[in-house]
Structure 1
Amino acid sequence: MSKKTVYFKSTNLLIEEIKKQNNIEILKEPNSLIKLFKKQTFPDIYFHSGILDEKAMKYIKNSKITISNSFSVKNLIIQKSKLSSEKIEVIYPSINIDYKNIDELKEKYIEKFDFFPTTKLIFFTAKNFKTSGIKEFLEICSSITYPDFRVIIAGSKQQIANLNFSLTKYSKLKDKLILLEDYKNIDELFLISDIFILPTQNKTFATNILKAMFCECVVFLPINNDAKEIIDVYASMERVNDPSTAFKIDAVLYDDRELNKIKIENKEKAMECILENNLNKFNQILSQI
């Protein structure tokens, strides 16, 4: 059987796994000299990411199938390219987390960070604190009335250093903050946390939302982000500084039954996006070309 060709602008977990398959050939971007004297070849499958610019549109229109990471992006592609829906497939970002026993893991962190077994943990992490809403996150946490919670913030040394300059404005959180620089075991922080809030300004699918859901966190995310497609209405924020978010968080923190119900539902949704399942989805698409 002949190999199928794949092209992508930026790699991810799924693409790295696909590259290992014997039936796949990765198409390389031709250099300018080749472009001048040779007709450009296009892949069977194009993984779209980033801006829908002229180059992206060329690949979308000339590939047999384009894969996007959300239905929002798919709809935008269809709108701009006028292609049929069948030519655009959606595979959400992949999760590949070593799932550990949460209760055992939490015991380790109770001793490490000195909080009670009943303490609820609210988590924030991002590559870019500012655009991911660190200011809004801290304001939301400052408005929570539930007494027994701690706030974990993990980022680069520089991000945490910059954050320290602005923390005087959030005196209510003074004794609740756990700041972690260049922390190695980020996945463990997702696993021990109860709530993950990401008041991001970015539209691109926030993969940390999927991670948090897989790790049984209740999540909160603005509706401007493409990851809104996988969360329920309760978890949606109308805007990054939505005043209702703190009330919603209080509601689930005061109701253990509802908190655990949402956690289980989120895990079930996120399970659909584990790497193995996404690889199966890709190979199913591949088999139909």
Structure 2
Amino acid sequence: MINNKYTIFYKTESQLVKQFCEEFEYELYSKPTLSQNWGFGKDIVYPDIYFHSGIVKESDIQLLIKSKIIIVNSNTIKHDIVEKSNGSITNDKIHVIYPTHNIDKFKKKEYKKAFFNRYHVDKKTKLVYFTGKNYEKTGLVQFLKFIKELTAANFKAVISGTPEQLKIVVPLLKELELSDKVILAQGDIFRAADIFVLPTSNKLFASNILKAMASKSVVFAPSSNHAFEIMDNFSIMDSSDDMTTVHKINMLLENTEELKKIQKENCKKVKEYTQSKQFKKLKLALDI
């Protein structure tokens, strides 16, 4: 599909959309006027490319049908579009391109050392990490329930966030008697963490999962979140309150060799989702 100028539509400007707009001539799709709908004035120009993001709504379907190519960031969204269109949109019209995350070289040992020094933690301690923009939806309480049940002795849980977010956590730690087990930190500590746990109720692809994998962390998240599609089966939780996760975390805390193996595998996997590789996939999907 080689055009001099592409008509595109998107609700959220992802990195993929941003690069497309920088490299190609385009115009944004405009909702038809009343006169156009009645057949007067300029012909309606529908999108060549619909970059879909978010939950698929019934109100999205007609424009999706009329668009030439649809780009989504998960197979789950792809199947949802096909189902809600009652077959009017076929699989070959929809292309899945996962969110991007670039890999920067870093030495995990240095980040861990800096964290241990700052918070006066023994250097052999494993770090089990949680963070999120909305603690309620991303599963703070469930994370603390997991931590409460862990029996391994060589770990500290870490929760990071803004000062306002962390104020909410303090009384919860006291209530659950976890104050000695949990460190509260401002700013993210992905590169120091060993295990990232995100028992989220959100369905849309959680970008922090990519970030954690790129930071050489083991990641646990529920199958209800679309990011499960890029995770290994061992780390996929049946639900946000899947208590078998506790056993798995305990096992990794006590088995450094297995922990490091999964960490390396995750980091290697994320290299498939760099900006340059995902943009090449986009150009291939668009045949340009």
Same fold, TM exceeding 0.5? yes
Once residues 254 and 144 of structure 2 are traced to their aligned partners in structure 1, the CA distance between those partners, rounded to angstroms, is 20
The correspondence for 1:137, drawn from 139, 143, 147, is 143
Q: More displaced, 87-96 or 27-36?
A: 27-36
Contact 1:110–1:116 under 8 Å retained in 2:
yes
**Could you say which residue in structure 2 is the equivalent of 1:214?**
214
For each residue in 1:51-88, what CA deviation from the matched residue of structure 2 results, as whole angstroms up to 9, or x when unmatched?
A: 32244212211111101111111111111221221100
Tell me the secondary structure at the aligned position of residue 146 of structure 1: coil
Q: Map residues 273-288 of structure 1 onto 2, 5 A cutoff.
A: 273-287=273-287
State the alpha-carbon separation in 1 of the partners of residues 132 and 33 from structure 2: 36
Judging changes above 3 Å, is the alpha-carbon distance between structure 1 residues 102 and 152 closer, same or farther for their aligned structure 2 residues?
A: same
Q: Are the aligned partners of 2:210 and 2:270 in contact in 1 as well (CA < 8 Å)?
A: yes
Equivalent-residue separation in structure 2 for 1:35 and 1:235 (angstroms): 51
Shift of 1:287: 2.1
Tell me the alpha carbon deviations over residues 106-140 of structure 1, each in whole angstroms, 9 at most, x when there is no partner: 22222112212211111111111001110000110
* Separation (CA, whole Å) in 2 of partners of 1:32 and 1:118: 65
* 1:175 and 2:176 aligned: no
Deviation at 1:157, TM superposition (A): 2.6
Which runs of structure 2 are paired with 1:196-207 in the superposition (5 Å)?
A: 196-207=196-207
Whole-angstrom CA distance in 1 between matches of 2:273 and 2:253: 27
Q: 1:14 aligns with which of 16, 31, 44?
A: 16
Partner letter of residue 44 of structure 2? Q
Please state how far the C-alpha of 1:145 moved relative to its aligned partner: 1.1
Match of 2:65 among 61, 66, 69: 61
Shift of 1:209: 1.0
Between 57-66 and 39-48, report the one with greater CA deviation: 39-48
**Letter in structure 2 aligned against 1:213:** M
The letter for the 1-side match of 2:183 is I
Conserved in 2, the CA contact under 8 Å of 1:48 and 1:56?
Answer: no
2:157 aligns to what SS in structure 1?
Answer: strand
* Alignment of structure 1 residues 1-289 onto 2, 5 Å: 2-21=4-23, 23-30=24-31, 38-81=42-85, 82=87, 83-171=89-177, 173-181=178-186, 183=187, 186=188, 189-287=189-287
Cα offset, 1:3, TM superposition: 2.5
Distance of 1:60 and 1:89 partners within structure 2: 13
Post-superposition shift, 1:262?
0.7
TM-score, length basis structure 1: 0.90
How many positions carry a matched residue from both structures? 281
SS in structure 1 at match of 2:164:
helix
- Using the alignment, how far apart are the partners of 1:202 and 1:35 within structure 2? 39
| 1:7 aligned partner, one-letter code | F
Deviation at 1:156, TM superposition (A): 2.6
* Separation in structure 1 between the aligned mates of residue 117 and residue 157 of structure 2, nearest angstrom: 16
Q: State how far apart, in whole Å, the 2-side matches of 1:260 and 1:281 are.
A: 30
Root-mean-square deviation over aligned CA pairs: 1.9
Find the aligned partners of 2:36 and 2:171 in 1 and give their Cα distance: 51
Letter of the 2:55 counterpart: I
Structure 1 segments unaligned to the other structure (5+ residues):
none
**How many Å apart are 1:6 and its aligned residue?**
2.4
TM-score by structure 2 length? 0.91
What percent of counterpart residues are identical? 36
Please state how far the C-alpha of 1:28 moved relative to its aligned partner: 4.4
